Amino acid sequence: MKKYILPIVALALLTGCGKVSDVKDTDKPINIVSGTVEGTTRDISTTDTEATTDDDTVSGTTTKTAGNKVSGTTTTAKAGSKKSAVTRANGGSGGVYGTTRAVPVAPKSTTKTKATTAATTTQPATQAPKADFEDCSTISFGISENTSNKIDVSRQYNDGKARSYQVLSADTSGIQEAIKKDPSKTVNDFVIKNDLDFDGYPDIFIIEKPDELNKTGKYYRYDHETGNYQAWQELNGIHFELNGNAELKQLKTTEQKEDGGYEEKIYVWNEQKQLVILKYTHKYKSGDSFLIDYVDYDNNGAEILRETRDENGSLVGGNNEETKS
């Protein structure tokens, strides 16, 4: 009997050694030493943070442990930092591997934007060159390139440049022919300047036929308010060249005859600004000698005296008395 009891006991003991009892983590003893938690702990994750500012870069390490206080250094970016922080996450189990970047936050702009004005500043218009109409010294004349029967009028402006500003009608065939014969002459030699209305400004007489005996042409009166020349009807009726006497305020024209005689007329401007004849002298051939008729007029152009004299000044014939009004 004893022989079988020992093997049975040994078998029972072997059977009891194979049994495993479940032990919960909460059943383990927990010892606290110097504020450190012992027992099962979670993996530790370490995060390095860099914050870049305009002046320098401050870095530090923040360590978090489950169930523990946070120890280490916390880094705070300076106010006004222009760059976003770059976060690198390294760690053990459950950690993030590689590099992650936080979404950058757009910094507030401190630059003031100037408002754009819709209206454009208007630049002052460039003023057109002007001429001094009181000054006739720079006026010159030339043959128009477009037609031979026109005279170009030019003058100097306040920018120092001469410009053509008016065209006058005139027969220029005689002028061009005269210039061909004498290339030293210009159109200006055939435009006579003379103050014929005694207003202080020179008017012009354009010589259309520069005949050696008599010069005929067209008259233009100068208007100092506009700077232009105006066709002169009163003087163009005379047709011949006039010479002005500023002291007596008289105009005189002389038409030469081929036989040596002539007709001379003296004009004045009356109070109504009308041109009237004041004196008329006619020298003409009579036989082998010359006789001269003298006729005087009043300011209205009415004849008041007529007489005839010979070349020696002696009275001839019956035209020797004052005309009765």
Per-residue pLDDT tens over the stretch 181-238: 999 999 999 999 999 999 999 999 999 998 778 999 999 999 999 999 999 999 999 9
pLDDT over 60 at 51, yes or no: no
Find the mean pLDDT for residues 250-265: 95
Residues 6+ positions from 30 with CB-CB distance below 8 Å: 37, 38, 39
What tokens were used for 149? Answer: 């029967």
Comparing 239 with 108, the larger pLDDT belongs to 239
The residue with greater pLDDT, 5 or 33, is 5
- Among the listed residues 222, 216, 215, the one whose alpha carbon sits nearest the alpha carbon of residue 197: 222
Under a CB-based contact definition with an 8 Å cutoff, are residues 193 and 204 in contact?
yes
Residue spans per domain, the chain: 129-243, 257-319
Mean pLDDT rounded to a whole number for the chain: 74
What pLDDT, on the 0 to 100 scale, is given for residue 233? Answer: 93
Q: How far apart are CA 220 and CA 206, in angstroms?
A: 8
**Three-class SS state of 264:** strand
Residue 49's nearest CA partner among 60, 63, 41, 35 is 60
Q: What pLDDT, in 10s, does the model give residues 142-152?
A: 987 767 789 99
Q: Which pLDDT belongs to residue 141?
A: 96
Q: What is this structure's pTM?
A: 0.59
Q: What is the rounded end-to-end Cα distance, in angstroms, of the chain?
A: 206
Tokens 């081929």 identify what position? Answer: 258
Instruction: Look at residue 250 and tell me whether its pLDDT is greater than 50.
Output: yes
pLDDT confidence of residue 301? 86
